[in-house]
Chains A and B, each alone.
Chain A
């Protein structure tokens, strides 16, 4: 069974731009969660989607948004990028409230 995949793996953007990250969950998993990881703040929860509905949202500004498609694939979007948005963005999938399996992450650098 294929694992969680995330694209792109690396991304360089400039301030003010927007970015879209993609996550394909493990087949059969309907829950997708997104996390931001930085050296200073650690792992921070962004949001969680289940069956195309956002069930949970972390404490991030409205510039961070996401969605989930009917095939459970998920995207997150960050608009008006700031230097502080440079981070590793991790996506995790699970069947429901069970073990989350993570993808390799997308490393975003904002210049």
Chain B
């Protein structure tokens, strides 16, 4: 069975500071993809970053980086230099390469404080 766990229902961060959003996953598939999405109050899910399970290096996309620790089955999202516009829900997701269904965590609500 596949499972994504996000243990932080809500997080606060000061503007311009860095913040880490936690994500752990459980899968028996040897190969899988990990994703982070941002959902502002408008509702649309915005793709942020992708990490393949066999990627040797941690993924980075601008101010977003994914701290991938395969042995611990964790895929934490790091947002550097937080901006007010980063306030949103953040979802971690996984797709096993043997399947075609995405599995989402319950999300973390991030609030950036001026």
Contact = CB atoms under 8 A, between A and B. Distances in A.
Contact of B104 (A43, A56, A97): A43
Nearest to A96: B100
B35 A99 contact: yes
B37 interface: yes
Interface residues of A, number: 24
Interface stretch (B12-20, B43-51, B75-83): B43-51
Interface size class of B (residues with CB under 8 A): 20 to 34
A111 B50 CA distance: 39
A48 B47 CA distance: 18
B44 A48 contact: no
B44 A104 contact: yes
Interface in A4-51: 31, 33, 35, 42-43, 45, 48, 50
A55 B100 contact: yes
A88 to B, nearest CB: 5
Interface of A: 31, 33, 35, 42-43, 45, 48, 50, 55-56, 88, 90, 92, 96-105, 107
